[in-house]
Amino acid sequence: MSSPCIDVCRYDETTGWCLGCGMAKAEKKAWKQGPAARAAIGAALPARLATMAGIGKVTGKAARHPKRQGRSGTDGSA
């Protein structure tokens, strides 16, 4: 199973979940250490992202820091 991390790494202050992938910092560490917890972590992420989006948080690639968006050419600037 590949990592759900999409290189956003911005965390919601209330939940501690990454706005990009939904993982908490401790889960990101556990993910890197081996496959034991990956299935459970991966299964929880879609609901977390939906919960955050439902309360008005920007999630996924759209949560990328504005300065980083310019690097990939996705911010609409010329």
For the stretch 4-33, pLDDT in tens is 999 999 999 999 999 999 999 999 999 999
- Residues 60-71: pLDDT tens digits? 999 987 765 444
Is 20 inside a domain boundary?
Answer: yes
46 HSE (CA, 13 A, CB side): 2
Is 78 inside a domain boundary?
Answer: no
Task: State which residues form the domain around 11.
Answer: 1-65
Is 5 inside a domain boundary?
Answer: yes
Is 58 inside a domain boundary?
Answer: yes
Is 75 inside a domain boundary?
Answer: no
pTM, to two decimals: 0.79
Give which of 70, 1, 6 is closest to 42, Cα–Cα.
1
How many domains in the chain?
Answer: 1
Is 14 inside a domain boundary?
Answer: yes
Number of other residues whose CB lies within 10 A of the CB of residue 32: 9
Query: 8: helix, coil or strand?
Result: coil
